[in-house]
Structure 1
């Protein structure tokens, strides 16, 4: 049985208004704190009426959770490559390059939800998702408390590494990042 479950609440499709509201919230949070975000301010940024907001969302919390879950879903779609049975080598870095490209392409989201506003809800879901990927990669075995602790450390470090990368982009060349990742994956497989 899978000890790590991530539940994402996502609609099957997004309307143009929902996409606009998402982008407006990300843009606002990239420059402001989450405490400053109100429905009125968001509607002004998104250039929509309050009734349009409430037609789609019951609260700011509901909106932010949906945005976080959508971003995490996209990242999890990439994470499936980590458990690809064809990918045996710890030095096959196409997956990691895709994740770093994803971080680069979503810097405004990362800034809004992980740098400017450190979102613990998102981080906890992301850690659980990473642990699930580690568990899948190791063959879906029973997990001991010691292994769970190692998974927690590696997941936390992974997330913080991506945040560091988003903040400092070019300070560490990608080939050095890949070498570090290879060491961690080898450690996990031992």
Structure 2
């Protein structure tokens, strides 16, 4: 059956020096002011590029933000793919550790979108990507009907927990905190699997 959760992340064209400079400038300015307060003029000044270069790539700043969101979330897909192709109960640590490593490598962007200036569109896209991954793992051999309302609850709970946990990890980088939150995420994933199985078993028994 079709996966009811569609990430809808745009595939970006080849990265250019201009695009990279604009993204870096957006990250810098995003730490100083609200997204809607950033102008194309100051963005280009910070990026050391001409305004004409900006408009060759983007129509407006929001389109630039959407590109950034999709790009950084797309990089999570290979990590999640490994999780999808194996028994998730045996791959929880991989799911958590590799995701944490990737986010730390791109800390400035994720901190901006999750902590400094929470980007709800980015957060929602990430939650959908997590749901998509979990569905692929749990439902890949299932030929039953579409997602029932009661089935959606565990997906919503665990996706929200995962995104929130990573936001906390970005604020508190002590090794003890990281390990404690990894344990919470591992337990959450285990609980999700049990909860989903229980709901699905009860539904099929009706």
TM-score (normalised: structure 2)? 0.84
**CA–CA separation in structure 2 for the residues paired with 1:82 and 1:38:** 41
**CA–CA separation in structure 1 for the residues paired with 2:87 and 2:132:** 18
2:164 to 160, 179, 189: 160
**Alignment of structure 1 residues 86-105 onto 2, 5 Å:** 88-89=89-90, 93-105=93-105
Deviations 1:30-72 (A, max 9, x none): 3322122110110010011111110111110111100110011
Deviations 1:157-189 (A, max 9, x none): 110110011011217443323322222122122
Q: CA RMSD in A?
A: 1.8
Q: Which residue of 1 aligns with 2:203?
A: none
- Asked if 1:83 is matched to 2:74, the reply is no
Relative to structure 2, which stretch is displaced further, 169-178 or 37-46? 169-178
Q: Which residue of 2 aligns with 1:136?
A: 136
Structure 1 stretches lacking a partner, 5+ long:
none
- Asked if 1:118 is matched to 2:122, the reply is no
**CA–CA separation in structure 2 for the residues paired with 1:171 and 1:97:** 12
1:143 CA drift (Å):
2.6
**CA–CA separation in structure 1 for the residues paired with 2:33 and 2:167:** 18
**CA–CA separation in structure 1 for the residues paired with 2:95 and 2:123:** 20
Q: Which residue of 2 aligns with 1:42?
A: 43
Relative to structure 2, which stretch is displaced further, 142-151 or 42-51? 142-151
1:153 CA drift (Å):
1.3
Relative to structure 2, which stretch is displaced further, 110-119 or 161-170? 110-119
TM-score (normalised: structure 1)? 0.91
Aligned pair count reads 189
Deviations 1:100-141 (A, max 9, x none): 111211111022222121111111111111111111121244
**CA–CA separation in structure 1 for the residues paired with 2:71 and 2:183:** 30
Q: Which residue of 1 aligns with 2:74?
A: 73
Q: Which residue of 2 aligns with 1:8?
A: 9
**CA–CA separation in structure 1 for the residues paired with 2:113 and 2:69:** 8
Larger radius of gyration: 2
Q: Tell me, what secondary structure is at the counterpart of 1:93?
A: helix
